[in-house]
Amino acid sequence: MLNQQDGVSYLNLHPGLFLERSARVYPDKPAVVYGDRAYTYAEFDHRIAQLAGGLTQAGVAPGDRVAYLVPNIPEMLEGHYGPMRMGGVLVAINTRLSKREIGFILRHSGAKALIFDTEFAGVVGDVLDEIGELELLVEVVDQSPRSGVRGAIEYEEFLAGGEGVELPEIERSELDTIAIDYTSGTTGEPKGVVYSGRGAYLNALGQALDAGLTPQSVYLWTLPMFHCNGWCYTWAVTAVGGAHVCLRQVNAADVFSQTAEQSVTHMCAAPSVLSLIESSPHAGPGKLDNVKIFTGGAPPAPRVLRAMQSMGAELHHLYGLTETYGPSTIAAIQPGWDDLSVDEQAQMKSRQGVPTTTLHAGVRVVTDDMADVPADAETIGEVVARGNTVMTGYYRDAEATETAFTAGWFHTGDLAVVHPDGYMELKDRKKDVIISGGENISSVEVEKVLMEHPAVLETCVVGVPDERWGEAPKAFIALRPGLDADETEIIEFCRQRLAHFKAPRHVEFGELPKTATGKVQKFMLREREWAGHERRIG
């Protein structure tokens, strides 16, 4: 029988345990690399002890929220360990948010401390003018001179002040909150997604297993650490004693140079980053040899898969949400897929696949009455999830939590089918399905076809007002540099490959609006198109 009293058979899980082990097992092994800076695991662990001591000495108590507004540099990685070590809660803020949104998150989370990079000193000053002073401000000075924000302590000075500080005794539960990750707020104010120590620990282990991370792994930070805590790779890489290579900003030249110089083995990248890499003049055969790249947010198009393979990379497709700690499914590669053509491989890998290792029983596609859809690749249902790596709820929003957890499952709002081999394939978000003349059109299906056009770099499809059909598909397209196409050509390209009613009736060329994680913001385009119209679905 499980004995939780004496701890012999039970230990509360949290991802801070990974650093404690790696610092003991691999003290002299490189842990963090950033430009000409590098820390061993012993040095990394010491800096975390200083950070935790500094927070404690400044009056931050267990359970207090510590906000970070820092890019993908070592200090942001340290934020995933320092607050946790002394019982605090990390609130990693999207660095591309507006002053209003940052102010909302600081207020809503009740942050007691804010650690910010000098690059964001201006917005921090403006926010503080509106919301009032926080109890602790710490400024990271990296590429810009110190800003002089009133009351801010320089980060390295702050660490030095935390040397040798005795940390508080913590009555820790693995279900305690260790992080609050705010969603993009596309349908209102951002929601605070609550992560527990147990969920983060298990999801990090799942990512390590599914990605094949080992002590020899070198992970390049091309995914924002503020996004689902870097899909939990902030903890997964540390769990195996791998090396974190930090990138302040993502550009193709740095991706290729760092891959070569640091012998990178793994990276995660949004579709927009893959497009950036693929279309770069630095791209070429063998430039990403033996690198495993994990992507999510949109299925990899055959053209992108071909480009990644030609550079020597191995591309994997993941699916998940902030509410599932990032990835919850993976298009697990089966024996024999390598014998397929590239187009056939792309078709298999573009599916969202099967649950990850730590959510093995917790993903279904269901009808409105919660029955599983048949595995016929045709019947559409909603993706629902439950298990150890689903959020514990929305912070200070019981109503939204209750709605999301209807019938004992987390409802994603994503629509999918299940193939006969058990692999799930997304068809659309509920709100993105286009209903034209009574026919349902999957915007994702149309986008896949558009991505096969040689001139298309990125695209998204939304429903727009149509006098006859109620709404009709419209394609928004960013063209590849140096290539051109017109509306007639694009529409005809689609009509040759899709039922005519699914082909776009309108095409607009230009840059696409995106979130900080590279996802196209369809809602902005949809709202613009429907302004002044009553949405009539016929």
The pLDDT value recorded for residue 466 is: 85
Distance CA 331, CA 333 (A): 6
Task: Label residue 223 by pLDDT band (50, 70, 90).
Answer: very high
The CATH 3.30.300.30 portion of the chain extends over 433-530
CATH of 43-164+173-198, one of 1.10.3720.10, 3.30.1330.40, 3.40.50.980, 2.30.30.140: 3.40.50.980
Distance CA 196, CA 173 (A): 9
Evaluate if residue 3 carries a pLDDT over 70.
no
Evaluate if residue 438 carries a pLDDT over 70.
no
The pLDDT value recorded for residue 1 is: 41
Distance CA 411, CA 408 (A): 9
What are the tens digits of pLDDT across the range 360-393? 668 999 999 999 999 999 999 999 999 999 999 9
The CATH 3.40.50.12780 portion of the chain extends over 250-429
Residue (of 330, 341, 238) closest to 292 by Cα position: 330
Q: Are 149 and 134 contacting, i.e. CB atoms less than 8 angstroms apart?
A: no
The pLDDT value recorded for residue 65 is: 98
| DSSP H or E stretch at residue 116 | strand 113-117
Mean pLDDT of 295-324: 87
Evaluate if residue 269 carries a pLDDT over 60.
yes
Q: Identify the CATH number of the domain defined by range 433-530.
A: 3.30.300.30
Helix, strand and coil percent figures for the chain, each rounded to 5: 35, 25, 40
Distance CA 277, CA 264 (A): 15
Mean pLDDT of 291-309: 84
User: Which residue has tokens 């540390």?
Assistant: 238
Task: Label residue 167 by pLDDT band (50, 70, 90).
Answer: very high
Among residues of the chain, what percentage have pLDDT more than 70? 95
What are the tens digits of pLDDT across the range 93-128? 999 888 888 999 999 999 999 999 999 999 999 999
CATH superfamily assigned to domain 250-429: ANL, N-terminal domain (3.40.50.12780)
| DSSP H or E stretch at residue 307 | helix 302-310
Three-state SS annotation for 421-482? CCCEEEEEEHHHCEEECCEEECHHHHHHHHCCCCCEEEEEEEEEEECCCEEEEEEEEEECCC
The CATH 3.40.50.980 portion of the chain extends over 43-164+173-198
Sign of CA dihedral 301, 304, 305, 306: positive
